A = this chain, B = another copy of it.
Amino acid sequence: MKSTSCIRVFADTEHIQHCQTHLSHVEPVLQSLASLLALAGNEVRLKILFLLAQGQQLCVCDIADVLKMTVSAVSQHLRKLKDGGVLHAHKVGQTVFYVLSDRHLPILQPLLTGMSTTTTRQIAP
């Protein structure tokens, strides 16, 4: 029976199968990488990550003030980031501080510091 997909004259079936098995080996890695990148692929969340990458820890209020956003909206983004293991929270009194977690730092750090070399460094004299 005819498949619905494209039937090329030069369809290299062997090559395609090789690609499929190759892909299947890295599938779980790609899957988790995709969800990590999806988290970082949102401007608001990327800004949050950038802020936290400056070394400081910030509370929800701080971030909301900096980004000029609702505390609620920020909190929801933080939740996603926390669920993704990108950051973790610790409570001091009634304020919750957020810090980048080590878990995905190897991937995130280069992304976040990569731009510092180009545009940051306005602070130092």
- Which residues of A approach B to under 8 Å, CB–CB? 4-6, 8, 11-12, 15-16, 19-23, 25-26, 29-31, 33-43, 46-47, 50-51, 54, 59-62, 64-67, 70-71, 95, 107, 110-111, 114-116, 118-120, 122-123
Copies in the complex: 2
A15, A22, A51, most chain B CB atoms within 10 A: A22
- Residue from the list B23, B50, B67, B95 in contact with A51, Cβ < 8 A: B23
Alpha-carbon separation in the docked complex, A33 to B33 (Å): 16
Q: What residues of B have a CB within 8 angstroms of the CB of A12 in the complex? A: 62
Alpha-carbon separation in the docked complex, A12 to B67 (Å): 15
Do the beta carbons of A114 and B120 come within 8 Å of each other? no
Do the beta carbons of B50 and A16 come within 8 Å of each other? no
**Closest chain B residue, CB of each to CB of A58:** B19
Chain A contact residues, majority secondary structure? helix
CB distance from A29 to the nearest CB of B (A): 4
Q: What residues of B have a CB within 8 angstroms of the CB of A35 in the complex? A: 41
CB distance from A96 to the nearest CB of B (A): 11
